Amino acid sequence: DAGITQSPRHKVTETGTPVTLRCHQTENHRYMYWYRQDPGHGLRLIHYSYGVKDTDKGEVSDGYSVSRSKTEDFLLTLESATSSQTSVYFCAINRDRGLSKGTEAFFGQGTRLTVV
């Protein structure tokens, strides 16, 4: 959707290989997030960023690292992919909906990753 682009959209990789997923935003938002979505678990936060070079862990951060060298890009890296990391990965930004309306997490289209 407008504002967020995830790449690649689909990827199949072998166990033990490194994988990097990219999230690109065009709206200059400060906060960016990586979630994974699995059946029976809904969406779970992996890592998030609150500015360039500022990142923090989420609920399921083990096995993942992130980097944010510029505002528009937030990278998620699986250093050594495992089958348990087969999932759909969503990037999100926090979009301010104006005073008293709160903020809205706006999601990308997702990346389907399969680790074989």
Partner 1 sequence: GESVGLHLPTLSVQEGDNSIINCAYSNSASDYFIWYKQESGKGPQFIIDIRSNMDKRQGQRVTVLLNKTVKHLSLQIAATQPGDSAVYFCAETPRGNQGGKLIFGQGTELSVKP
If binding is defined by CB under 8 A, does position 45 make contact with partner 1?
A: yes
Q: Which of 60, 66, 108, 115 contacts partner 1 by CB under 8 A?
A: 108
Helix/strand/coil percentages in the chain, nearest 5: 5, 60, 40
Which candidate, 36, 35, 108, places its Cα nearest to that of 72? Answer: 108
Give the range of 16-24, 61-69, 72-80, 101-109 binding partner 1 by CB under 8 A: 101-109
Is residue 79 within the footprint of partner 1 (CB under 8 A)? no
The answer to whether residue 34 forms part of the interface with partner 1 (CB under 8 A) is no
Q: Judged by CB under 8 A, does residue 7 bind partner 1?
A: no
Pair 47, 58: CB distance under 8 Å: yes
